[in-house]
């Protein structure tokens, strides 16, 4: 029965959940970014609109400060509307229309944007702000005549020329009333002004520069006298008339033609506690004095048609649009993910079905794509093919082991049966033959035990310093009798300086397998050469014969178990087929490699490569 996968662990469900989560995060991030960007854009637009509104208010306040009525303001209103793109309308306090940039039948916005009143609101001193006080552009009777202005301009130019000579450049500016005054250029060292011979020696450079221009003209004196008369009743009502002639200080450095902070007599300054009362009296007097010279207060309406400026509003319709768009995105995401997931899951299901087939069928999975799933199916098919090949090798190995064990056992059983029946006498020759067959069985069992230990990773080696020359000589001596009996010449060629850190018994076993195999496959009068040399950090052991060699198709299989180049060979002519696999495992246990090279008709060469070891300290 196939195991049932829980819904939460299925690949399709995971893909759908992941896609929905990504879609939700994407929609939320997009909505947040859109709202943030829109809000920033609206704030910037509103800031620009506010700056335009302040400019409109400032210019209309300036017009009111410079004109006794609104008779000619229509042209100014239309020019400002064309420049700013806003609808501009001026009305009286009772909503009587004064001027409008729109057509007459266009209704006014619901609320006025600001009041235009230069006698109570200052929009000139600080741009963008509506300060409490009189607009400095409302100069009224303080406006200088052309001759007075020319005379003061001449004085200002002389002072400017004087400052230029002492390397203190200045600039000439004018108050709204037309009075000139000097200001220092930006970055100029004010110490030059302190030492300048052009002023009256005041400590403050600004006062020093303008001191020569501080004396009131005839027009200003007349206006100051009228202002004093208007302020005196209020001051006397507050017990501030000190009995002397009352005059006002004059500020020539700022924008106000009349400074209101202090009242001065010949004897002393008015007490500090009464300063604010004095200011209020002067301010009321100035408004009274300026009232005939400025336009009456008006209300300013700003807008577009009959609507006010647009503002961002998340209405129900907008919310419904956002929710609908988000739902559409989620639906499309789920649909696309479902299609993609089905295409991904289909080959996985086919792979699962192939993997669940009985092992003896060695089922393959279909490969329909070249993506990761297709590569997985190919890897599964390769694994199945290797498993099938290993199964065939296992069957062949079992058959070979049975065949290898059957021959000596059959010989032993047969001789024992005929001896038991009294047909043959147990003479020394018979006993020697039986002993030889027992030794063959023992060697096969030992070889199988070594291969099993190598496969299980339990093949033990006891390393110790070994001179390679001694190892080669011992292997040659052990097989020299067999070589002489076969008519084969066994030669050695060694480097006496090479050493190994190896198990001498196991290494003699590996070399012995190679030498015996070479002697077996070398015809009479042939030669087997056992050589050793140092090659860099390695020691190379070579066993070369002059036999018939190995075919190119058979060469990759020489280290496989129970493999014989000629299948018809028996164990006695072709060996058991376990010697070379044991050599390969013994070399792997010593961190070495075993290789075979051969050309048909030119013999074979087996090479063992192992890491070299330094000579022991006690060896000279």
Please check whether residues 42 and 77 belong to one and the same domain.
Answer: yes
d(CA 258, CA 506): 118
Q: How many domains does the structure of the chain reveal? A: 4
Please check whether residues 120 and 235 belong to one and the same domain.
Answer: no
* Cβ contact 578:401 at 8 Å: no
Enumerate residues 6+ apart whose C-beta is below 8 A from 579. 447, 513, 514, 516, 517
Phi–psi pair at 52, nearest 5 degrees: -65, -40
Residue 349 placed within a domain: no
CB neighbours of residue 539 within 10 Å: 24
CB neighbours of residue 485 within 10 Å: 9
Please check whether residues 400 and 500 belong to one and the same domain.
Answer: no
* Cβ contact 209:193 at 8 Å: yes
User: Alpha helix locations (H) across 275-427?
Assistant: 275-290, 316-355, 372-420
Sign of CA dihedral 39, 44, 49, 53: positive
**Domain around 124:** 1-138+295-315
Please check whether residues 133 and 182 belong to one and the same domain.
Answer: no
Please check whether residues 512 and 412 belong to one and the same domain.
Answer: no
pLDDT of residue 44: 54
Please check whether residues 161 and 250 belong to one and the same domain.
Answer: yes
pLDDT of residue 1: 44
Burial class (CB in 10 A: 0-12, 13-18, 19+), 287: middle
Instruction: Say what the pTM is.
Output: 0.44
Please check whether residues 94 and 119 belong to one and the same domain.
Answer: yes
Please check whether residues 270 and 408 belong to one and the same domain.
Answer: no
Please check whether residues 191 and 309 belong to one and the same domain.
Answer: no
Residue 102 placed within a domain: yes
* CA neighbours closer than 13 Å in the CB half-sphere of residue 538: 14
pLDDT of residue 260: 39
Mean pLDDT by 10 residues, the chain (620 residues): 60 71 74 69 58 85 90 90 87 89 84 89 82 87 90 85 78 85 62 49 45 74 84 80 52 43 38 63 87 92 59 62 75 76 76 79 78 76 83 72 73 83 81 77 73 70 88 88 90 87 86 88 91 91 90 78 53 58 83 89 90 80
Please check whether residues 129 and 155 belong to one and the same domain.
Answer: no
pLDDT of residue 571: 44
pLDDT of residue 197: 58
Residue 328 placed within a domain: no
* Cβ contact 57:49 at 8 Å: no
pLDDT of residue 28: 75
d(CA 577, CA 404): 10
CATH of the domain at 413: 1.10.287.130
DSSP-derived letter for residue 312 is -
Tokens of 562: 């129970």
Residue 353 placed within a domain: no
Please check whether residues 147 and 112 belong to one and the same domain.
Answer: no
Tokens of 356: 């669940």
Q: Which residue has the tokens 């020539």?
A: 252
Please check whether residues 151 and 187 belong to one and the same domain.
Answer: yes
Nearest residue to 583 via CA among 459, 421, 432, 435: 459
Which of 420, 454, 488 is the last residue in one of the domains? 454
């Amino acid at each position: 029965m196939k195991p049932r996968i829980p819904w939460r662990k299925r690949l399709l469900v995971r893909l759908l959940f992941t896609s929905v989560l990504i879609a939700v995060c994407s929609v939320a991030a997009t909505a947040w970014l859109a709202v943030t960007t829109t809000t920033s854009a609206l704030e910037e637009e509103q800031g620009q609109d506010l700056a335009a509104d302040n400019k409109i208010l400032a210019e209309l306040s300036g017009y009111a400060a410079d004109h006794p009525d609104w008779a000619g303001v229509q042209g100014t209103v239309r020019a400002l509307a064309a420049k700013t793109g806003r609808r501009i309308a001026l009305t009286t306090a009772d909503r009587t229309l004064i001027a409008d940039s729109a057509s007459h039948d266009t209704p006014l916005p619901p609320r006025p944007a600001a009041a235009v009143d230069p006698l109570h609101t200052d929009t000139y001193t600080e741009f963008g702000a509506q300060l409490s006080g009189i607009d400095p552009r409302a100069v009224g009777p303080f406006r200088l005549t052309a001759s007075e202005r020319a005379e003061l301009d001449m004085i200002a130019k002389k002072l400017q020329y004087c400052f230029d000579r002492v390397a203190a450049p200045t600039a000439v500016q004018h108050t709204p009333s037309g009075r000139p005054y000097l200001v220092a250029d930006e970055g100029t060292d004010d110490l030059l002004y302190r030492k300048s011979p052009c002023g009256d020696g005041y400590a403050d450079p600004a006062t020093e520069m303008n001191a020569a221009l501080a004396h009131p003209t005839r027009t200003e004196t007349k206006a100051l006298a009228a202002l004093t008369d208007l302020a005196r009743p209020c001051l006397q009502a507050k017990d501030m008339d000190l009995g002397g002639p009352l005059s006002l200080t004059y500020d020539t450095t700022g924008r106000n033609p009349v400074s209101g902070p202090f009242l001065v007599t010949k004897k002393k300054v008015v007490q500090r506690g009464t300063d604010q009362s004095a200011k209020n009296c002067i301010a009321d007097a100035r408004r009274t004095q300026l009232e005939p010279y400025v336009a009456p207060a008006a209300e300013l309406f700003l807008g577009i048609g009959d609507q006010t400026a647009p503002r961002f509003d998340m209405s129900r319709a907008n919310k419904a649009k956002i929710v609908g768009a988000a739902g559409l995105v989620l639906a499309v995401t789920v649909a696309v993910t479902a299609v993609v997931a089905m295409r991904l899951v289909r080959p996985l299901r086919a792979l699962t079905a192939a993997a669940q087939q009985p092992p003896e069928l060695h089922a393959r999975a279909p490969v329909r794509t070249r993506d990761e799933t297709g590569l997985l199916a190919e890897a599964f098919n390769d694994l199945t093919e290797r498993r099938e090949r290993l199964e065939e090798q296992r069957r062949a190995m079992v058959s070979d082991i049975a065949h290898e064990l059957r021959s000596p056992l059959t010989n032993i059983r047969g001789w024992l049966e005929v001896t038991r029946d009294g047909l043959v006498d147990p003479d020394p020759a018979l006993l020697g033959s039986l002993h030889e067959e027992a030794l063959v069985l023992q060697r096969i069992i030992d070889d199988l035990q070594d291969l099993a230990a190598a496969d299980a990773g339990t093949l033990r080696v006891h390393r110790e310093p070994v001179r390679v020359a001694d190892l080669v000589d011992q292997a040659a001596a052990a097989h020299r009798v067999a070589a002489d009996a076969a008519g084969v010449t066994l030669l050695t060629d060694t480097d006496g300086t090479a050493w190994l850190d190896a198990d001498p018994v196991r290494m003699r076993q590996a070399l012995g397998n190679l030498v015996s195999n070479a002697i077996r496959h070398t015809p009479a009068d042939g030669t087997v050469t056992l050589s050793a040399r140092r090659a860099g950090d390695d020691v190379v052991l070579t066993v070369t014969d002059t036999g018939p060699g190995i075919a190119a198709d058979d060469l990759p299989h020489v280290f496989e178990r129970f493999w014989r180049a000629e299948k018809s060979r028996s164990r006695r002519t072709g060996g058991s087929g376990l010697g070379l696999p044991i050599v390969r495992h013994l070399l792997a246990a010593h961190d070495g490699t075993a290789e075979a090279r051969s050309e048909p008709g030119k013999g074979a060469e087996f090479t063992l490569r192992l890491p070299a070891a330094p000579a022991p300290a006690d060896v000279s």
